[in-house]
Chains A and B, each alone.
Chain A
Amino acid sequence: MTDDIERRDVLIATAMFTTMLGMGFWTEAAMAADAKPSTTVLITGASRGIGTEFVKQYAARGYTVIATARDPAKAVDLQALAKANKNISIERMDVLDHASIDALAAKLKGKPIDILVNNAGIGGGGVNQVFGKINYAVFDDVMKTNVEGPLKVSEAFIDNVAASNMKKIMMVSSSQGSVASVRSASLYFYRASKSALNMVTVNLAKALKDKGVIVGMVAPGATDTDFMIEVRGRMPLGKPSERTAGMIVQIDAFTMEKSGQFFEWNGETVPW
């Protein structure tokens, strides 16, 4: 990522130099440099964990970042980040609240969004998903946050993404949703929600192909954030910064040929 910034600086310097020399072929380089600040990314669930990392890393790249959170007032880290980076704006949006999604879509109408990162997600609590003691009260929250929410957000911002240069809608999924990879029983709802999200994404990829929108899934692997609080210390957890950087590399590499596919942060294909 820092490579990109440096490259841009070099391009700007080169452009200025060539202009000064009056050689006249600076336009292409200057346009490439100009294109960078106009790249916009919207990240849901940006108040903590991987969401905040996405904000930090895309902002460092010079992208315009729209960071959404259910309760921005409580998102202290995100606020500090936005204070230090003029290219970050915070918007209130709860993926469970469709009126809040529609309201933000109306507010951002006409604004191109290059990358929409559907990051907001919940685990539902491992203790609520143990056979014999399954707590069905958490089912809706898990399904609506992890499946319905990303679909609704994607649908609401289709025009923004289609009007951009990169045209990417990315779902933060999980290898826990890999139907082919279940080793032992746990997290019934969470796993089911991610399998369902993957199916939604596969269909969305097909539905948006004609608009030139690339839709894909990325997974961070087990990462050391609040999300993993129940298992922290009991299994190896990756650094949020590294895992997010990995997912950004995968998002960069997404092309229309890969639309509808699912990659781990390290580039491995996740089996269905």
Chain B
Amino acid sequence: MPAKIPRRTTLVGMAATFSTLAAKPVYAQGMGTVLITGASRGIGFEFAKRYAETGWTVIATARDPAMAEPLKALAKAHKNIRIEKLDVSDVKAVDALAEKLKGTAIDVLINNAGISGGSQNQKVGAIKYEVFDDVMHTNVLGPIKMAEAFAPHVAASTQKKIISISSTEGSLAGISARPDVNSIFYRASKSALNMAMINMAKALKDKGIIVIMLSPGLVQTDFVGDLRLPIMISAEQSVAMTMPIIARVTMDDTGKYFRHTGDLAAW
């Protein structure tokens, strides 16, 4: 399976070498409009920054834009970024934003907003069930609702892509093969997200919309707290690796679950 992507990369790379676009990264080709949820920090912020720098029109959503100082500064520096207030777990708020943006074509919708629920709350024997709903609403219900509400905007675009930021922590095969028990709700939410998005891919195929799940790698953001591991990458590195994947996926890839390396993750 992974053979496909490297081969594509090579082809794209060869084509680029012989064209005037050679100096431009692959994601700079075919600029459009991207909507990124959870853009106030971490990977979401980095997506907003990188797409804006590349010349895309960026709709960056955040639960509390007033508190999102770096995002506000970014939007000040880049006229092509617009900030919208949105809590993805609030179904009515998603509908309201979809209505507000009615008629706007969105080439790429990135369901990035996600929470971990705190690993200290998810230890077997002392599980804090009060975080369950928050994790499931933000990580599962939110992306489903976003895809449903914004399908018309995406269908009206040129590129027609819905990207859900998942995690290899949601890989049943991957986790089964590992000894560690960690963040049981978070992992379950990502397995659930993958399942929901596979269904979404089937539902939206007729509209020409490509739906993929993307694991960003183990990224050093607020999300992982104080955790520091040698395999960790920065949000900048992660986004630099995943934007080309987003740019190159076609309808042949719909419903697939990619790692940041471009390889497919195991279910």
Contact = CB atoms under 8 A, between A and B. Distances in A.
B193 interface: yes
Contacts of A271: 267
Chain B, interface SS category: helix
B129 A148 contact: yes
B69 interface: no
A200 B173 contact: no
Q: Which has the most chain A C-beta neighbours within 10 Å: B148, B198, B204, B266?
A: B198
Given A136-B91, A147-B188, A179-B267, A191 B203 contact: no
Interface residues of A, number: 45
A185 B125 contact: no
Given A134-B148, A203-B124, A195 B191 contact: yes
Interface stretch (B48-56, B139-147, B244-252): B139-147
Interface in B159-190: 170, 172-173, 175-176, 179-182, 184, 187-190
Interface of A: 98, 131-132, 134, 136, 139-140, 143-144, 147-148, 151-152, 155, 158, 177, 179-180, 182-189, 191-200, 202-204, 206-208, 260, 271-272
Chain A, interface SS category: helix
A192 B136 CA distance: 10
Top-7 shortest CB links A-B: A192-B192, A185-B203, A196-B188, A272-B172, A207-B124, A195-B195, A196-B192
Given A179-B195, A191-B195, A191-B196, A203 B187 contact: yes
Nearest to B152: A132
Nearest to B199: A185
A195 B91 CA distance: 23
B200 interface: yes
A30 B183 CA distance: 46
A180 B265 CA distance: 12
B187 A155 contact: no
B132 interface: yes
B188 A197 contact: yes
Nearest to A271: B267
Nearest to B205: A185
12 contacts: A143-B140, A143-B192, A147-B192, A182-B195, A184-B202, A189-B196, A192-B196, A195-B195, A196-B136, A196-B140, A203-B184, A272-B172
